[in-house]
Each structure stands twice: as structure tokens, then as C-alpha cells.
Amino acid sequence: MPGSAAATTSGVRHVVSAQQFDRARLEALFAAARQMEGVLAAGGDDRLRGRLLATLFYEPSTRTRLSFESAMLRLGGQVISTENARDFSSAIKGESLEDSIRIVAGYADAIVLRHPEEGAAARAAAVAPVPVLNAGDGPGEHPTQSLLDLYTIEREMGRIDGLRVVMVGDLAHGRTVHSLARLLTVFERVHLTLAAPAAVRMRADVRALLRARGAEVTETDDLRTAVAGADVVYQTRLQRERFAESTGEEGEAAVGLAERFRITPELMARLGPRAIVLHPLPRVGEIDPAVDADPRAAYFRQARNGVAVRMALLAELLL
């Protein structure tokens, strides 16, 4: 699958996992995203005129849904959307995801899907005659978020090879870090430090993949030490909505440790002057707002990059 979008239905190109992207495709996508920044500065264009995107969200979203919709509209396309498909689509009447996808595919040229169940995007792709883009499948993956994360790292740091990246927080349930860890293995000499409480350490399948690909990985529960020498600190929130599926004990243990994993001005003093702090957002206390004014706080620039990256991806898939 590396190097091409998964072609699971009659050659249709889907984006289900970060593992579909190899270095050449990433570099081409990032070059296109740079050009899209120019298109945005010029007020957009109409290269996707006549094309229609459906955004089908069974879980809440601010950034992913609106940035995809913004990207489509900026390229002259149109959007149909359901922002709470769990309650306001026929899912509430018992319609299967597969049937819903078959129907929506008859109305649109591509589908952006967020769903609470891991594997939902792959199930959708298996029946969709139009591209399905995984906008988050439960605790599984969030590949387009990792594309904009990586684009931001490249844009801010000027390179990805050889960087020291620290991932922090709920690495068990955070789908963005599952995708970003996969993408980082495409680059050379990237050192990954996984800083998390033991109860929410990086999940085993991602650790196994990192090992299989020969990635340099360190695990720790000491963020203060981990950030020394880091180029990128990627913070995540505790995924409280996922704990209902886990034991309460696990959730409480992680919550009890959360303070030790907070990014504060004091922690920033341990970071180098060229380092950056990223977060997929939303944040719920794990980055002190006092950090926002620090030029190394790149998370709002990161969110903004989502539009250009998604414009590039939509153009790649729909033209």
C-alpha cells in the first residue's frame, strides 16, 4: 500500500491510513500545499468547480470538518455536510455505515468521514465508488491531520530528517499520534520520544510498527527530561471520550498524572530556541495559555496549515 492511496474499490483512491504515503508522495503533496498557500493568498481559484464534497461526521469536529469544507470552497467546489450524523442521519434509524456510504457516494464526488469506530474508514472505502478520506476513526488513525502536522514541521524547521520529536500525553487513544508516528518512519534518523503515563503509553501495534521499521524510539514518563534537546514537542489531550470503552481505573490513573505532562512557561524554558510546540487541538488544559505568546508555540499556525494541505489533497484526488 505505501506510495499510493489504497485502491480498495475498482481503482478508487481512498485515504484511510498514514501508511499509504511514501516520501515521494509526501514531498509532492507538500510542494502542492505550498502552492495552495499562494492560491489562498489570491482568494482561491475554481479548479474544482462542478465537484461536490460530502463531509459525514458521526463525532464532533471544529478543525477537520471546517478546514475540509473551506479547502473545497476555496477551490471552487461545493460541499454537502452532516455534522452530527450519529443523531441527524438515518444511522439513528439503524442504517448501516456501508449503506449510508453507498447512498452518499451517489450524491458527491468524495466523502470525508469521521466515525467513532476504529476501522470505519476502511469499511467505508470497501464499498465506496468515490474517494473516502478518513477524518478520524475512533482511536485508530487521523491521516490527514498527520499530513498537516508533518507539513507544519517541515515548514517551521526546514527539514524532517534527523529531528528529535517528543510525543506527549494520551498516546494510547490519540489517533493523531498513531498516524504521525507512522508518517515519521518515512524519514531518516528521526528520533521519537514517547512521553506518557504508563496507563496511556503508545499502543502496542504502533510500537511494533516503529520497531519493524527500525525507528529510534525512547519511552519515558518524565516530560521535563524528555524535552531537553527536542526539536518538536507534540502535545495531545487526554481522550476522555475513549475511556468509556476502557476501564475507569485506566482513565483515573491517567488523569491523576496529567499535571506532570502539562506544557507551561517553566517547561518552555527547558526547550531550545528553535524548537516548536505542536498540538492537533482542541486543548483542554495540557498547554498553559501563557505559552501562546511564545513564538515557539506553533499550534495555531499548524491548524491554519490544514486548509492548504487539504486543498492539495482534494486536488490530488479529484482532478
Least Å from the CB of residue 297 to ligand CP = 16
Active-site residue flag, 114: yes
What does the buried/exposed string (b/e) look like for 130-153 if buried means 16 or more CB atoms within 10 Å of the residue's CB?
bbbbbbbbbbbbbbbbbbbbbbbb
| Interface pick for ligand CP out of 9, 145, 152, 236 (rule CB under 6 A) | 145
Work out how close the CB of 81 gets to ligand CP at its nearest, in angstroms, rounded to a whole number. 13
Which one of 115, 142, 164, 173 is the catalytic residue? 142
CA distances from 100 to 86, 113, 125, 241, 302 (A): 11, 11, 12, 24, 32
Which residues of 32-160 form beta strands (DSSP E)?
A: 52-57, 78-82, 110-115, 132-137
Q: Does 63 qualify as catalytic in the annotation?
A: yes
Is 310 among the catalytic positions? no
Please count the residues of the chain.
Answer: 319
Q: Which is nearer to ligand CP, 59 or 215 (CB)?
A: 59
- x/- letters, 118..137, toward ligand CP (CB under 6 A): ------------------x-
Closest CB to ligand CP among residues 143, 197: 143
Which of 8, 55, 64, 82 binds ligand CP (CB under 6 A)? It is: 64
Choices 23-31, 62-70, 72-80, 105-113; region in contact with ligand CP by CB under 6 A: 62-70
The grid coordinates listed for 286 are 495540557
Q: Is 93 a catalytic residue?
A: yes
Active site residue 115: no
Pull the grid cell for residue 109. Answer: 464526488
- 215-246: string of b/e by CB count within 10 Å (b at 16+)? bebeeebebeebbeebbbbbbbbbbeebbeeb
Q: In this complex, which beta carbon is closest to ligand CP, that of residue 164 or of residue 242?
A: 242
Judged by CB, which is closer to ligand CP: 131, or 174? 174
| Integer Cα distance of 94 and 82 in angstroms | 17
Member of 1, 28, 62, 92 binding ligand CP (CB under 6 A): 62
Do residues 114 and 79 lie in contact, with contact meaning Cβ atoms separated by under 8 Å? Answer: no
Identity (one letter) of the amino acid at 120?
A
Residues 226-285 within binding reach of ligand CP (CB under 6 A): 280-282
Q: 13, 74, 114, 164: which one is catalytic? A: 114
Report the site for ligand CP in 274-293 (rule: CB under 6 A): 280-282
> Is the dihedral angle over the CA atoms 199, 205, 207, 208 positive or is it negative?
positive
Q: With binding defined as CB under 6 A, does residue 84 bind ligand CP?
A: no
Which single residue is written with the C-alpha cell 529510534?
Answer: 216
Residue closer to ligand CP (CB basis): 62 or 96: 62
Q: Which residues bind ligand CP (CB under 6 A)?
A: 61-64, 136, 142, 145, 280-282
- Active-site residues: which are they? 63-64, 93, 114, 142
